[in-house]
């Protein structure tokens, strides 16, 4: 299948916004993709936003961000909104995202997918497109009890080495989660292998994507972009 490559800006780093409702969401959903980008992008800037988390879990998130994005220009923003209650904090989540949008213009957003069964993940996915109107947004999937992995649109292939490194770092960075009955190598590797099979790769992470643009001819530099009201 013809692959689409990320168009890297010629004059500045590729700017990514990674959003998680909880510490470990970003890494479970897109850790391999982040490892791959950190390795392959000559210049990468990432703003890392996690919306809930106790002090202990925030420490884990901070550690994980640096482990999964070695060499990237990294800014980390951690909040402590109540876990499991984000639908009731809809306005606060929107404020957080709008604050990011005022100072940061990502090219790519990596965030929860809109059909996620967890209410916190889903709330973020619902608000994101009301704030960021001109970004490629990839929605990651998180395996869980609800059985909500669906039919993704985009696949990021991973090598066996990358998936091994991803799982190794998940265990290393998120020790507070080791006792959970779903936290094990087979869950992480099994989903990655399944998604890999679907895109004819050894392993993959998969994403939803509501909208993307394909350049069939060079972009017209005179195109005027109009930012819609939020
Ligand atoms: Zn989560």
Residue 97 is encoded by which pair of tokens?
Answer: 């995202």
d(CA 119, CA 122): 5
Please tell me the distance between residue 167's alpha carbon and the centre of ligand 1 in angstroms: 17
Arithmetic mean of pLDDT, 198-220: 91
CA 2 – ligand 1 centroid, Å: 32
121 alpha carbon to ligand 1 midpoint, in Å? 6
- Going from the Cα of 202 to the center of ligand 1, the distance in angstroms, rounded, reads 26
Share of the chain above pLDDT 90, in %: 88
Question: How much is the mean pLDDT over the chain?
Answer: 94
Q: What angle do CA 148, 134, 117 make, to 5 degrees?
A: 15
- pLDDT 10s digits, 94-124: 999 999 999 999 999 999 999 999 999 999 9
pLDDT band at 218 (very low <50, low <70, confident <90, very high): confident
Q: Contact at 8 Å (CB) between 21 and 119?
A: no
pLDDT on residue 229: 53
Q: From ligand 1's centre to the CA of 98, what distance in Å?
A: 21
Q: Could you give the 3-state DSSP secondary structure of residue 99?
A: helix
Distances (CA, A) of 135 to 62, 89, 228: 25, 24, 13
Of the candidates 92, 90, 143, the one whose C-alpha atom is nearest the C-alpha of residue 118 is 143
For residue 23, the CA-to-ligand 1 centroid distance in Å is 7
Helix 55-68 × helix 25-40 angle, to 10°: 20
Q: Is the confidence at residue 224, as pLDDT, over 70?
A: no
Three-state SS for 157-203 is: EECHHHHHHHHHHHHHHCHHHCCCCCCCHHHHHHHHHHHHHHCCCCE
CA of 72 to the centre of ligand 1 (A): 24
């Amino acid at each position: 299948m013809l692959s689409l490559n990320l168009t890297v800006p010629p004059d500045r780093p590729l700017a990514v916004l990674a959003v998680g409702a909880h510490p470990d969401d970003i890494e479970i959903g897109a850790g391999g993709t982040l490892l791959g980008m950190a390795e392959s992008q000559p210049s990468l800037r990432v703003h890392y936003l996690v919306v809930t988390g106790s002090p202990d879990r925030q420490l884990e998130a901070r550690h994980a961000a640096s482990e999964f994005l070695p060499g990237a220009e990294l800014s980390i923003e951690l909040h402590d909104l109540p876990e499991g209650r984000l639908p009731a904090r809809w306005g606060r989540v929107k404020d957080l995202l709008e604050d990011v949008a005022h100072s940061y213009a990502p090219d790519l957003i990596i965030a929860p997918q809109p059909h996620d069964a967890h209410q916190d993940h889903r709330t973020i996915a619902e608000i994101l497109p009301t704030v960021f109107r001109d970004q490629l947004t990839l929605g990651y999937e998180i395996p869980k009890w609800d059985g909500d992995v669906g039919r993704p649109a985009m696949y990021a292939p991973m090598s066996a080495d990358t998936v091994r490194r991803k799982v190794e770092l998940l265990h290393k960075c998120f020790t507070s989660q080791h006792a959970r009955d779903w936290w094990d190598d087979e869950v992480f590797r099994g989903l990655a292998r399944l998604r890999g099979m679907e895109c004819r790769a050894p392993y993959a992470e998969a994403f939803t994507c509501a909208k993307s643009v394909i350049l069939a001819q060079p972009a017209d530099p005179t195109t005027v972009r109009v930012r819609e009201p939020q």
